[in-house]
Amino acid sequence: MLLKVEKLNIALGGNQIIKNLSFSVEKGEILTILGPNGSGKSVLVKTLLGLIPYEGKITWGEEIKIGYLPQGLSQLKMQESPLTVWEFFDLKSSSPSLQDVKHFLGLVGLESSILSQVAGTLSGGQFQRVLLAWVLISHPNVIFLDEPTTGVDIAGGKTIYSLLYDIKKKENITVFLITHDLNIVYKHSTNVLCLSRQGYTCFGKPKQILNKKKLEQIFGMEVKYYKH
């Protein structure tokens, strides 16, 4: 068991965001947290990370090391200062060595010449790869990906998700994917946790979740989706 959540309740500013939620995650699984904007996906993630107070029980397994790729970490934010890619890695509390940084850049398919470039000037795909390397370099065994620019092709038909999936095959990491993109759900996830704005929740294998009726309950309207 990696994570067990029992009767979780989260309220923010008087609003009940998450109500009576229970689910569990095993080591090496990919859990997709699916729901429309405003359904509390990011709030749930921040709660699991210990950044928001809650009621109920959250139990993490032993020797958990979490990596987090937050929502809204955009290049725009990086343009506020002329930070090079190397200087961005140097911000980490662990102060990684140059050799380590080069290794992880290689893992996500980047040349080490990118280190001297200013992070704010990278292409969207390059920036996503740098971020993934930035998270992976701490050797996390659990990774949270909060809606990294969904489905963006970061080179050769690869998305941030497929790249992560490749890396996951080599290292036994557990992945939490937060998304509203149904196409990603079907492909790789072990389980899907769905949240809706109306407080409806469900948890199970993608095949059980991704049917028309359930999706309408999650997204509250007619949805188009494609079977893979």
Partner 1 sequence: MSTQLMLSLISGIFISGIAAYLGTLMLSKKMTIVAGPLAHLAFPGVALALVFGFNISIGVFPFVIVGAILIWYLEKKTKLPLENLSAIIFASGVGIGLLFLPIDKAEEALVGSIVSITPVETFLAIVLSVLVFFVTRYIYKKVILINIHEGLAKIEGINVDIYSLIYLLSIAIVVALSVYLVGALITAALIAIPPASAKSISNSFRSYKILAVLFGIMSAVLGIFISKIFGLPTGPVVVLVGVVIFLFSIIFKKSS
- Where along the sequence are the contacts to partner 1 (CB under 8 A)? 46, 49, 51, 66-68, 70, 72-73, 77-78, 80-84, 87, 90-93, 116, 118
- Indicate the residue among 123 and 208 with the shorter CB distance to partner 1: 123
Token output for 123: 């292409």
Q: Could you give the CA distance from residue 56 to residue 204 in angstroms, rounded to a whole number?
A: 21
Name the nearest CA neighbour of 24 among 52, 60, 56, 51.
Answer: 60
- Indicate the residue among 52 and 155 with the shorter CB distance to partner 1: 52
Q: Are 46 and 10 in contact (CB under 8 A)?
A: no
**Least distance in Å: CB of 172 to partner 1?**
21
- Cα 11 off chain centre by: 22
Q: Could you give the CA distance from residue 177 to residue 194 in angstroms, rounded to a whole number?
A: 12
**Least distance in Å: CB of 137 to partner 1?**
12
**Least distance in Å: CB of 80 to partner 1?**
5
Q: Could you give the CA distance from residue 225 to residue 160 in angstroms, rounded to a whole number?
A: 21
Helix, strand, coil share of the chain (percent; to 5): 35, 25, 40
**Least distance in Å: CB of 86 to partner 1?**
8
**Least distance in Å: CB of 159 to partner 1?**
21
- Indicate the residue among 60 and 200 with the shorter CB distance to partner 1: 60
- Indicate the residue among 87 and 181 with the shorter CB distance to partner 1: 87
- Indicate the residue among 72 and 156 with the shorter CB distance to partner 1: 72
